[in-house]
A and B are shown apart, each in its own frame.
Chain A
Amino acid sequence: MPDTATAASGLGTYLPLVLLLLLSFGFAVFSVTIAPLVGPKRYNRQKLQPYECGIEPSPQPVAGGGRIPVKFYLTGMLFILFDIEMVFLYPYAVAADAVGMFGFIAVTIFIVAITIPYVYEWARGGLEWD
């Protein structure tokens, strides 16, 4: 049957590709496993650093025993709040012409309502990183 023949030959043309894939996969596994087994182990300070260049983050987070300053949490919390509120503006932006004046007023009220806590946060020093 010509159909199966072309199908078989079609598959056959992919055979080298598959073999190459297997070969490269095997080589990757082989080199990753063999390197620590046979290679020399001479560690020094530089090699243990997470980055080869640049500034080492200090103090180290959880693994290093240090703690992340609580300020990060505070700022993160405030960010999440104001960030997520914005989700309501996307549907409005898409449907702005359909919802008309009513939608505009509603969105304005919404923005005023989230500006108030922003003012509060600013005035009470929530944005200062002392």
Chain B
Amino acid sequence: MDLAQGGPATALGVPSIDVAAVLPLLIVFTAGAVGVLLEAVLPRNQRWPAQVALSLTSVVGAGVALAVYVTGDFESTTTFRAEEASSGALAVDTPALFLWGTLLVLGLLALLLIADRSVEPGGAFVSKAALRGGAAGGTDTLTKEQTFTGMQTEVFPLTLFALGGMMTFCAANDLLTMFIALEVLSLPLYLMCGLARRRRLISQEAAVKYFLLGAFASAFFLYGLGLLYGYAGSVKLADIAVAAQGTDRSDTLLFAGLGLLAIGLLFKGSVGPFHTWTPDVYQGAPTPVTAFMAACTKVAAFGGLLRVLTVSFESTSWEWRSVLSVVAVVSMAIGAILGLTQRDVKRMIAYSSIAHAGFLVVGAMALTEDGLSATLFYLLAYGFTTLAAFGVVSLVRDSSGEATDLSAWAGLAKRSPLVAATFTVLLLALAGIPLTSGFVGKFAVFEAALSDGMAPLVVIALVASAIAAFYYLRVVVLMYFSEPAPDGPAVTVPGVFTTTAIAVGTIATLVLGIVPTFALDWASAGGFVF
């Protein structure tokens, strides 16, 4: 067989690795591996402090490494144009660095939420993943094993692996790296969904649903990869772009490949018709994990989508743009309209995330520098807001755990003005009211879309935001102008970790809303390089 010829006589070129560029990634993955070792060697009572210290330190360390790299010779020598690290498997360019920074900050806040043990004694995670739920629903009383105050500390290495996968995903320069990163970020998330301390059955069900649908979607992604490999003879994004400019190849392979690839990416971003897992998984997963997924997975998925569309498929944008417009409209409509009917806070925010995914697709389609920077800014702003919102959701509790039913939130302002005020700010930001980051993000995205000739889409997006604003405001009205139920939930006073996460998220929401210029500058500092 001619493929086996050649033999090992010719030495292969040694790929060069720019260690400084990928150092944040290495730190996160190494810390994940060390975390697994700690699980193996430490006795049970020492695991939590060790894991918390390790994971927080590593994420902060990765952030420092990133900051050093960005402010160091990177800026002076390459003037915010990227160099390709890791022999072309990763492209550490400016958007990738911005996304890494976003992911690390949001990941740090999510880790704080995950590590918290003051809101729920022992933390929001079960002590042994094998513990089964009680009766159907498994809502009320905890068994003796469930009240055991330890927690499954494997969740920390899992979070780190997921975070590392997301960072790789944003920077992946070929589709194979992207696929591996997709799995590295997904597999830990599937497991983390099933680890809730309370409502075991619902949590496990969320894990099964997320897993089966997620694996289904990544199989589509992979088939897209296969077809594009057949089309271009390579899976490097730049090679696909070059091949797409020539006309002598089969368009069937190109567009079938792009379509299948997009299904996988849009699924991870919980966009439009590929959203069906989102409400169930957001509701069933432990709230800190939901916060992590909602903020970080969305950043990673749209980072990947932006890169694929900008780098590989810019020349064919006429063909796919109309299809993606339909997807965006469907996503916004589903998020806005079905969100109205929800009675559960977590589900409501899940539908809101579907609507926001629609807005993000509008920004990602623009394919201009403005569109890119607007989408990046939107991701940053949305991440902070939604993370803090889920942090607040975890505070409102009754005897059976979190009181996520909307009726339990009636009159919350009378009972706990601070929490109600915080949540109001976050909801207004999700609705896109001025002086919050949500407004700036939407404004930037819509402006970029308008200047790229997508006026009808912007009109639809505005209508969708108006509809969605209704259900956010409904919750605000409910909190301020209804009488609290006599046996309503209590607001737990959170410990340092949760307080920090919520405070940082809320303050960032306000700061990005009032003085957004600096972050917009960061986001617009450069484009994808290939």
Contacts and interface: CB of A to CB of B under 8 A. Distances in A.
A117 B36 contact: yes
Contacts of A116: 33, 36-37
A38 interface: no
Interface in A26-59: none
Among B14, B33, B40, max chain A CB count under 10 A is at: B40
B15 A102 contact: yes
B323 interface: no
A84 interface: no
Given A119-B37, A123-B41, 11 more contacts: A94-B8, A95-B8, A98-B11, A99-B12, A100-B14, A101-B14, A102-B14, A116-B36, A116-B37, A124-B39, A124-B40
Contacts of A103: 12
Given A94-B8, A95-B8, A98-B9, A120 B40 contact: yes
Instruction: Determine the interface band of chain B, counting residues with CB < 8 A from chain A.
Output: 10 to 19
Interface string B37-67: 1011100000000000000000000000000
Contacts of B41: 119, 123
Given A100-B14, A102-B14, A102-B15, A120 B37 contact: yes
Contact of A95 (B12, B37, B39): B12
Contacts of A94: 8
B10 interface: yes
Nearest to B6: A98
A51 to B, nearest CB: 35
Main secondary structure of the interface of A (DSSP, over half): helix
Nearest to A101: B14
A97 interface: yes
B8 to A, nearest CB: 4
The CB with the most chain B CB atoms within 10 A, among A97, A100, A103, A116, is that of A116
Contacts of B15: 102
A97 B40 contact: no
Interface string A87-101: 000000011111111
A113 B10 CA distance: 29
Contacts of B11: 98-100
A33 B182 CA distance: 56
27 contacts: A94-B8, A95-B8, A95-B12, A97-B8, A98-B8, A98-B9, A98-B10, A98-B11, A98-B12, A99-B11, A99-B12, A100-B11, A100-B12, A101-B14, A102-B15, A113-B33, A116-B37, A117-B36, A119-B40, A120-B36, A120-B37, A120-B40, A122-B40, A123-B40, A123-B41, A124-B39, A124-B40
